Structure 1
Amino acid sequence: MTGFSRRFVLGGLLSGAASAALAEAPLTSLRPMPRAGGAVAVPSAPTATRTAASAEALVAAAQLGGKVGFVVADARTGLVLEAMNGAEPMPPASVSKAITALYALEHLGAGHRFATRLIATGPVQGGRLAGDLVLAGGGDPTLSTDTLGDMAAALRAAGISSVAGRFVVWGGALPFVRAIDTTQPDYLGYNPAVSGLNLNFNRVHFEWKRAQSGYQVSMDARAERFVPKVYTTRIAVADRDRPVYTYSDRGEVEEWTVARTALGKGGSRWLPVRRPELYAADVFQTLARAQGITLPTPQVAKSAPRGTVIVERASDTLRPVLHDMLRFSNNLTAEAVGMSASMQRGGVRGHAQSGPAMSDWLKARAGAGTARFVDHSGLGGASRISAMDMVTALARLGPGQALRGILKEFTLRDANGKVMQNHPVQVDAKTGTLNFVSTLAGWMTAPDGTDLVFAIFTGDVARRDAIPDAQKEQPPGAPEWVRRSKRLQQQLIERWAAVYGA
């Protein structure tokens, strides 16, 4: 579909849908009569149509360049009310996480938990472990320094004060990948490594303060209750203007430098971790030391550990984990839960195969023939799906997994960007943003109670691809472009509420 149309029905959009409420969807087009100009007339259109700005006019006024694709449908019947470029595959950005949530819920189950364990390979004699101590990750994307601090205290409470053997860390519960998207700059905290042992979303906290002789810099693994210093990552201030950051991996220590001219008076930011197992081991060793437990230099295990579980800490159940993933759009969580789902489904050995496996699943479950995911977070710009297939997936699979209930409420704003309190339109949706890509998909409830399901994709891919590496974090013109796109998204939502929810 290339162009604009209204009021037709997707053939088989909701046939076979899990929700009985959606089983009444008509399967043939209502075949409205064309009108002058090629657009399709709306049969029995509400009076509000005469006053609401046309979708074509709203898109033209946004002046986004590239392409705009959208589809809105009645959530109960599957009747597609309006569409523009609905069949065009476009980058979904973080809207991909809504599909990842459905994928994970189906294959892992809403009650799934990720466990992190301390395993002993020998007996405890007089407070001394006569064997190895293994910190074994279970793929938990939410593991924090506070959790490791509690595990260190539990280890001490179990009567262990020293280890005769080795201190071993294992992250093989999930395949390792050095970065989610290798085309992104090294220093972006939202593009870390992924492993079966992930700590603090595989980020390290870098802080700097101006001092008399230059700058004081520090790196720590802070959480709410514990702020241990990190020894497996170092940073130094360099006398240069560009690049702002450099990174090198020298054996067991990750080395960063930062340009002095970029620091100003002081500040902080999160930097990504590329060796997550050693990072977690480093932090746990410090926290254990605070409990009076002496641990040897950590070693990374290549095979799954065997022994007695001394301490175990499980994550929250999957549904609240996904709720936070969707709310904060966390990339590490999306990759970890998506990879876990692929491994549960079977036949997938690495991250490069996991995104395509989710694509195949979506094609089988929702007929989404345009789906082509390269990851589970949407960070990779090569992922594609059409607005039509996105709406189909939400309409078919969302109700059965109660997806709307874990999506973030989308706040509507006035012309000055201020949140409009008590707005009569309720929107629960997932947003997505890449450079010159802005997306939104989910559900909305009009003032009269009509529920609609929609997807809005905007993207100027050629402009995105032309960004030099040095400007990828903050390319000129991108913030204003995103502002116009988000304004268009809200205008379309308000139009649909006025026209189809009257």
Structure 2
Amino acid sequence: MGGAFAGLSQPGWAQPPEVSLRPWVRPEGLWRRSIPSPAALIAEAGLGGRVGFAVADARSGEMLETESPLYGMPPASVAKAITCAYGLDRLGPGYRFRTRLMAAGPVTNGRLDGDLWLVGGGDPLLDTDQLNAMARRLRETGLREVTGRLMLAADALPYIRQIDAEQPDHVGYNPAISGLNLNFNRVHFEWARAGNGYSVQLDARSETLRPPVARMRMRVADRNIPVYTYEERDGRENWTVARGALGNGGSRWLPVRRPPLYAAEVFQVLARSNGIVLEGPGQGALPAGASVLVENVSDPLEDILRGMMRWSTNITAETVGLSASIAGGAAPGSLSASAAEMNGWMQTRLGARHTAFVDHSGLGEASRVRPQDMTHALVAAGADGMLRRLMKHIAMRDADGNLMPDHPVAVVAKTGTLNFVSSLAGYARAPTGRDFAFTIFCADLDRRGALGPAEVERPDGGRSYTRRAKRLQQQLIERWAAIYG
């Protein structure tokens, strides 16, 4: 498969086994017998639930070793590897998101007789600094007065209130999605002790700016739990936080549920600082004949996806996936509808026989992928393809968790983690130069399903499970390199 698939991949992480898997100089029969079997490694990990994997020669597609290869399991953020390939194929590596300021009326002597439109193109990386640059460039056009209002066009993508309804209200990795996004659709909450109480601040901070946000409010409540509550009321997003959870001070990012209004408020503040006062905002469909005054153009999609694969940003995956579905002629009204488009694409384009994504980021636990299908997809994407090049190198580690920079196996893969779910899929290169495509899924869904609302962020045993799963993943990769390399 050529074109956009001429190069896709990323690395893995875990710990080495008790028995070395690299006795390269010993007689073949002896050292092969010394390498633990997959069943022994899985038993030693003691994860509970299920482990499934499939490893193949990355060039020929020959399947080398499997465990429960046809059992669908949650891919977690490994889903982003498929979203990456989907976006590259449908949009192209050079695709750029565009955010525009447009005039719906004539501009004469610095006066716009009509509305100024802030038009989103779905850019997942638009931030306050870029919005400020747009306000500055608007002033540089000579505009000083707008007789109408600031209007918003955010219909480039459907409005999605949150990625996964099962997540807690306050986690910043589960924001809303729309055609107009800002700061990953998160607002920064900071608090500090002030006398017998606390001072709190919500702002749209970026690398250089911290404009305050008034349409979101935070109230400190005299309680210990729940830590946060949220509701939308009177056109505002209203939060409360438990006094007993605040300590002396701190900060965190909270999700935004109405991203266009958030972007509008921030832009009004920035425009005012540049001498342009804007009333509004209003929302609607961009009128025909509106002219572009200022345009912000994103980095190429290839670079955006490289960042997504490194930082595993959910909003990037969802906006890219939705944009790819729309580019293919669909009109998805939900993430599940867009994911269904990607399921069909994966089956026809990458050779998967059965996939059931419910979103593009892997945040939704209901997604199911079979290890064999995922590995076939990686083979189809190409041993030297763009997917491999966009994936992040994941260093191997010793039994104490220390990095092993001289480890003979080079791994690039996408990791995925949910509570009691750990996944890894990508490519490994043995010392002999042989390339493998592999998928390893670990999940204890009974243990995950038993979690109460208060346990979701930091469940007891969660870190231990993830650590042991990652160790198992590395042991399996070392096994494959030793036996099949």
TM-score (norm 2): 0.92
Structure 1 partner of 2:381: 397
Of 468, 478, 487, the match for 2:452: 468
Question: For 1:184-237, what per-residue CA distance to the aligned partner results, in whole angstroms no more than 9, with x for missing partners?
Answer: 111110000000001011000011111213111101111112211111211111
Q: Does the 8 Å CA contact 1:18/1:399 hold for their aligned counterparts?
A: no
Structure 2 partner of 1:69: 52
2:155 partner amino acid: G
Of 203, 220, 239, the match for 1:220: 203
Structure 1 partner of 2:106: 123
Structure 2 partner of 1:10: none
- Whether 1:359 aligns to 2:314 is no
Question: For 1:148-170, what per-residue CA distance to the aligned partner results, in whole angstroms no more than 9, with x for missing partners?
Answer: 01000000000112210011111
Runs ≥4 residues deviating over 3 A: 44-48, 302-306, 398-401
Structure 2 partner of 1:381: 365
Structure 2 partner of 1:39: none
Determine the C-alpha separation between the residues in 2 that align with 1:154 and 1:251.
33
Determine the C-alpha separation between the residues in 1 that align with 2:82 and 2:327.
16
Aligned 1:326-341 pairs, distance under 5 A:
326-341=309-324
More off after superposition, 395-404 vs 343-352: 395-404
Deviation at 1:399, TM superposition (A): 4.8
1:239 partner amino acid: D
Aligned 1:25-424 pairs, distance under 5 A:
48-302=31-285, 306-351=289-334, 352-399=336-383, 401-424=385-408
Question: For 1:403-435, what per-residue CA distance to the aligned partner results, in whole angstroms no more than 9, with x for missing partners?
Answer: 100001111111111212232211110000011
Q: Which has the higher contact order (CA 8 A, sep 6+)?
A: 2
Task: Look up the SS of the partner of 1:327 in the other structure.
Answer: helix
Of 440, 445, 448, the match for 2:432: 448
- Whether 1:434 aligns to 2:393 is no
Task: Look up the SS of the partner of 1:409 in the other structure.
Answer: coil
Determine the C-alpha separation between the residues in 1 that align with 2:468 and 2:431.
25
1:467 partner amino acid: L
Q: Does the 8 Å CA contact 2:130/2:296 hold for their aligned counterparts?
A: yes
Deviation at 1:45, TM superposition (A): 6.9
Determine the C-alpha separation between the residues in 2 that align with 1:69 and 1:257.
42
Deviation at 1:124, TM superposition (A): 1.9
Determine the C-alpha separation between the residues in 1 that align with 2:451 and 2:176.
24
Determine the C-alpha separation between the residues in 1 that align with 2:398 and 2:384.
34
The gaps in structure 1 that reach 5 residues or longer are: 1-16, 23-43
Determine the C-alpha separation between the residues in 1 that align with 2:120 and 2:385.
27
Question: For 1:234-255, what per-residue CA distance to the aligned partner results, in whole angstroms no more than 9, with x for missing partners?
Answer: 1111000111000011132111
1:136 partner amino acid: V
Q: Does the 8 Å CA contact 2:58/2:383 hold for their aligned counterparts?
A: no
Deviation at 1:318, TM superposition (A): 0.6
Q: CA 1:305 to 1:231, structure 2 compared with 1: closer, same or farther past 3 Å?
A: farther
Determine the C-alpha separation between the residues in 2 that align with 1:345 and 1:220.
37
Q: CA 1:306 to 1:187, structure 2 compared with 1: closer, same or farther past 3 Å?
A: farther
Structure 2 partner of 1:40: none
Determine the C-alpha separation between the residues in 1 that align with 2:178 and 2:35.
50
TM-score (norm 1): 0.89
Q: Does the 8 Å CA contact 1:190/1:330 hold for their aligned counterparts?
A: yes
Q: How many residues align?
A: 463
Determine the C-alpha separation between the residues in 1 that align with 2:126 and 2:166.
27
Question: For 1:289-328, what per-residue CA distance to the aligned partner results, in whole angstroms no more than 9, with x for missing partners?
Answer: 1111111121122456650100001111111111111110
Deviation at 1:117, TM superposition (A): 0.1
Q: Does the 8 Å CA contact 1:75/1:451 hold for their aligned counterparts?
A: yes
Determine the C-alpha separation between the residues in 1 that align with 2:462 and 2:285.
43
Q: Does the 8 Å CA contact 1:348/1:357 hold for their aligned counterparts?
A: no
Q: Does the 8 Å CA contact 1:194/1:332 hold for their aligned counterparts?
A: yes
Determine the C-alpha separation between the residues in 2 that align with 1:387 and 1:305.
49
Percent of residue pairs bearing the same amino acid type: 54
Structure 2 partner of 1:6: none
Question: For 1:430-455, what per-residue CA distance to the aligned partner results, in whole angstroms no more than 9, with x for missing partners?
Answer: 00001110000000111121111100
Task: Look up the SS of the partner of 2:170 in the other structure.
Answer: coil
Determine the C-alpha separation between the residues in 2 that align with 1:160 and 1:46.
79
Deviation at 1:400, TM superposition (A): 7.7
Q: CA 1:133 to 1:48, structure 2 compared with 1: closer, same or farther past 3 Å?
A: farther
